[in-house]
Structure 1
Amino acid sequence: MLEFLRRQSKPIMIAVAAIIIIAFTFWSGMTQPGRGGYSAEATSLSVNGRDYSFLEVGRLQHAFVFAQQAGLPGVGPSYASDMVGIHFQHASQKTGRPLVYESAPFDYGINVLVLRDALKRFGIRASDKEVQDAYRKLPTFFTNGQYNPELARGFEQWIRERGVSQEQMYDTIRDSLGLQRLQQIVAGNMVSAPGITDRFYAASFSTIKAATIPFPLDDFKKKVEVKDEEISKYFEENKEGYKTEEKRAVTLVVLPKPDTATLNAENTVKAQREYEEKVQKFAEKVLDSKINLAAEATEAKAEVRQIAAFADTAPPEELKNELALVNAIFTNDQKLAPISDPVKVAKGYAFFQVTAVEAPKTQELKDVKEKIREALVSQKATEAMTKAANEARTKLEAAIKGGKSFADAAKEAGLTPQVLAEFSTANPPMNLSIGYRIAQEAQSTAPGSFAKEILNSENGVLLLFVLSKELRKSPESAASKNMISTSLDRMAQQDIFRAWFEEQYKNAKVNASILLNVALSNER
């Protein structure tokens, strides 16, 4: 949702101060999880022998939103991401993404508790001044490199409305500063193995000369013949795959977002909040399956349109750029949700009700004959093309092994290589659609040999032959090596620290079974 908010054309201070409010107000309002019948004071988990209530864990989870939206740095660019990834254990059974509890990844709060115990043992605690200085430097408070107090006030107001106090914000910043210091203590002296920087540099920046031999699919299609008997047989064997597409008709309601072009940041926040409240109330009202969507939309002064039946692969003009909406329409279960949840669209939020469904029907052979012919031509041509490429490579490799040059071997085989402009893994041939793939394969291919894989191109396939590799001196080589060395050291330090943290987690004897059951129940 935040990606949508950040795409707005207003200045960043309005986009973040106002629109982030809308995203999370709506999110928390629509998906506020319960506690499975437990009271707020009931024990939800224990870490290092101490019990934590649902209320305490909820506060920790709410701080995740602050850390994420404030752009709070950790050992990497994002402290929020650090504290989820440092020990990621619990995934959603539905999506495979992090399991969510109280609008934050389930593992976040537990990892913070383990971190805080470690910080206490090491005597690490950032001073109040350090915390305040870090707070004033949060990226979300800046516009064009300058601190923006109006933006800061808007964000602070929003975060307080989310139930995050200033004390919680400062504690979270203190944790992030502590995490950075702790990693330095545990793994700061770790450096990558000697010589590995040079090897990475050579692999990335060696100048590569290579050539390709293309095998265009169209050349093979011209030679393919398909008989009517083959088409009939294919149709009978694949009849189920030649049904018409399902079509759906809908009543579409759009609540247009407010025009804030002439408003200042404060009034923009106010207008956006009022709009979000309007969407929220409308969403709650249409949960009643007996509601007349069009009538309610008219009363709410929303846009109402009747969309004739269409297939998801051929939406009407007005929906061609609304892929999320089209997908929602065709995945909607009318029994579970007669009227949809709100869907983000370019003009604001949309609701819909499927009014008719045209089920797929089996087509007759005459209706799909040409389509099947094209499929069979493509299938036969692809087989012939792949066979030709493999045979050519075998023949060329034998000729080169016998002492011929690549150019002479190709000429003798009646093939025309295309010599590429010099490139490297770090600077692949950008004029080719598969330039990155070519650079990747060339990196692992010895000079004077073919790449192991036949490469798919936009026109067919091609063979890749590496002519030579040369590591040339460059004015930027020292800086590049230093960058690689720093990156490798950082990766090594992160790996060591993550392994160390895993041991701390294990020793903390975390028991989160009650909280996990509640989170899984909320997901269902």
Structure 2
Amino acid sequence: MIENLRKYTGLMIATFVILFISFFFLDTRSVRNMSGGKSMFKIAGRTYSDKEYRSLGAGSFELASMLAQSGDYSLYQFIMGLSSGATGKDDAPEKFFVGRMILHQAKEDYGVYPNDEEISDFLRTLRVFSGPDQKFSAENYRNFIDRGMGRLGMGEKDLRELAADVLAMKKLNAIVGSGLSVDRDAVAKNLALESQQVSGEVAKLDLAPFEAKIEPTEEEIKKYWDTVSDSFTTEPRRKFTYIIATPEVVVDPEADKAEAPETIVDATASDEVKKANAKKKEEEKAKHATEMAEARRKKQFELDTLVSDFVDKLEEQKGGGFEELAKANKWEIKTSELFPLSAVPKDLDLTVRFSSQGGKAADQLFRITETSDPLSKISEAIPVGENQWVVARLDGEEKSRPKSYEEARNDARAQYISEKAAEALKTAANEDVTKIKASLAAGKSFADAAKEAGINETKAFTAITKTSRPDGATQPQNLFEASRNLDPGSIADVITESDRAFILYVAKREVVKEENAAAKIDSEVTARTSENETIAFTAWIAERIEAAKVETLYKH
């Protein structure tokens, strides 16, 4: 198993992304709407029902996600570790369920059963149950069970079972990862490298002059095109009929009224009266503002209801009658030409509000997947701008296709020049490094050596650290990383970026001593050991899942 660790090193990051996607998009209605009595999975020869899946899989997945959102890392580890192999929001709960069943088998194999006291102590540490004083709040705990878990059809027993599995996984982590200790001296050396200050110089070569020298012939472009033609495709284009629903404007009768001039009575009033009058005016303004806000809220509610009814009727009519229903609401009906996402009509270039995905209305329209069901061509009601809604029907599509040579010639030419220029830049930089090294050996400064090599642009840097931010115009983005292991007086390998190359010279490196260095090393050793254990556990459970020959018996 240990030899397979490298295979899974990227797994935790991938699952971390999937976890956050699932936070935003997990639809609990799919959990509630499943009927009982169906066989869902077969794992290691045992069949599991949809009832078990709802409780120990989908429902528990969302429960764990809710708990983790407060920032408890142990819950992130739990979800990531059990969701091994998930590729998106749809299969993450299923992977979680399979992983949890494998965990239950492992608990039996290793005799790992947290007791009631351990479970209670663990639950008291969770941030989601903390009060204002950051201590465990029995009231928050009870509210979470009654309100947060109630909608999942789960109770305190399910919460404690989940906590028991989190604790069991922690113990199995330590068992499976035992022996994967971290070399303290290696950690100390790495931290020393990260705690140093580095000084030196960089010389910069720009790509543009090399691009200007390349003038490919038509034959060269055509020959290059033949090798990369598959990478040049047209953008998919779509055509929509759509409405943009906007609330009725609320006219403010006070908007254009000028403030009444001060009367003689007002001017000669006592300070107490003036103060009372001013207070009365402010109260009247506040009251008016509240009334206008309420009027706008009512208009928004009316529109929201109309849009909801519009979508409901479209569903009833399987997408038919779009124009007639829109006209009944006095909405303007628009039809676009075919357009790609790179050239969206202005009125569809609207920002989506209240969406974890963000983006524009057109982004969501291009996610429509047409099927044999006519309703599939109708979008959801998309909230846009401050108060509008977009509903659209897909009327036509021109799918992406390979471009012809004539269509792609200019792009192919530009790409050919870019690639050839990058090769020439790197070759020139390496040749300059050889020249600079020879000049340095002869006792010349780096700046003079660079000038002799034909590079006039150099810049010194002083005492940079891991947290230093390079000057993007004159320094490489990885300045510290590229220089931290280099001996003083040495030159690094050429650093290439998209439009330039750098030659890096290190003049001085100095380790900065820290008062709490020993404690920092101990903390890093603990963290690295925990990371190794987690990676080992992830690899181990993935192997057990593979050996369990999981079968999906019913797709909900």
TM-score range, shorter chain: 0.5 to 0.7
Structure 2 Cα separation of the partners of residues 82 and 494 of structure 1: 10
Counterparts of 2:321 and 2:483, CA distance in 1:
62
Q: What whole-Å deviation, never above 9, does each CA across 1:394-424 have from its counterpart, x for those lacking one?
A: 3223444566553442232232322223223
Does the CA contact (< 8 Å) of 1:33 and 1:102 recur in 2?
no
Map Cα deviations across residues 257-308 of structure 1 (whole Å, 9 max, x no partner): 9xxxx9xxxxxxxx99xx89x9699479538655233545677999975445
TM-score with structure 2 length normalisation? 0.65
1:326 aligned partner: 362
Q: Equivalent residues in 2 for 1:198-209 (5 A)?
A: 198-209=188-199
Mapped to 2, the partners of 1:279 and 1:135 lie a distance apart of 43
Quick one: which of 68, 72, 79 aligns to 1:71?
68
Other structure's SS at 2:377 match:
coil
For the residues of structure 1 that align with 2:177 and 2:151, how far apart are their CA atoms? 39
RMSD: 5.2
Deviations 1:97-134 (A, max 9, x none): 48727676453432442354367x24422339816x72
| Residue 180 of structure 1: how far off its partner (Å) | 3.7
Measured against aligned partners, the alpha-carbon deviations of 1:176-227 in whole angstroms (never above 9, x if no partner) come to 2444455567768975223122112122122222322111223334545567
392-401 vs 295-304, which moves further: 295-304
Counterpart for residue 437 of structure 1: 478
Query: One-letter code of the match for 1:162?
Result: L
Residues 1:134 and 2:123 are matched in the alignment: yes
> Following the alignment from structure 1 to structure 2, what is the Cα–Cα distance between the partners of residues 122 and 143?
35
Cα distance in 2, alignment partners of residues 242 and 83 from structure 1: 40
Q: Which residue of 1 aligns with 2:340?
A: 311
Please list the CA deviations of residues 134-185 of structure 1 after superposition, one character each: whole Å capped at 9, or x if unmatched. 2684427767958696897477435322222332122212332444455567
In the other structure, the counterpart of 1:218 is 208
- State the secondary structure of the residue aligned to 2:149: helix
Q: TM-score, normalised by structure 1?
A: 0.68
Among 492, 496, 505, the alignment partner of 1:465 is 505
Alignment-mate amino acid for residue 550 of structure 2:
A
CA distance in 2, matches of 1:148, 1:302: 52
CA distance in structure 1 between the partners assigned to 2:245 and 2:132 by the alignment:
30
Aligned partner (choices 425, 429, 434) of residue 394 of structure 1: 434
- In structure 2, stretches of 5+ residues that fail to align are 1-16, 248-289, 291-299, 353-358
What is aligned with 1:110? 101
CA contact (8 A) 1:58 1:102 kept: no
Structure 2 CA distance, aligned partners of 1:463 and 1:384? 15
Alignment of 1:488 onto 2:479: no
Q: Distance in 2 between matches of 1:285 and 1:352?
A: 11
Output aligned runs, 1:276-315, within 5 Å.
282=311, 286=315, 289-296=318-325, 306-315=335-344
Among candidates 398, 414, 421, match of residue 462 of structure 2: 421
Q: Give 1:59's aligned amino acid.
A: S
For 2:490 and 2:38, locate their aligned partners in 1 and report how far apart those are by CA, in whole Å. Answer: 69
Counterparts of 1:301 and 1:73, CA distance in 2: 46
CA distance in 2, matches of 1:238, 1:497: 42
- One-letter amino acid matched to 1:65: E
Give 1:67 shift: 0.9
Q: Residues 104 and 68 (structure 1 numbering): CA distance in 2 closer, same or farther, change over 3 Å?
A: farther
In 1: Cα distance, 2:69 partner to 2:452 partner: 63
Letter in 1 for 2:123: A
Q: 1:449 to 1:222 in 2, by over 3 A?
A: same
Matched residues, percent identical? 18
* Structure index of larger Rg: 2
Deviation of 1:330 after TM superposition, in Å, equals 3.7
- Give the CA deviation at 1:512: 3.3
| Distance across 1 between alignment mates of 2:511 and 2:69 | 40
1:60-79: per-residue Cα shift (whole Å, max 9, x none)? Answer: 011111011122899x7142
Instruction: Give the aligned length.
Output: 468
CA contact (8 A) 1:98 1:106 kept: no
Secondary structure of the residue aligned to 1:353 is: strand
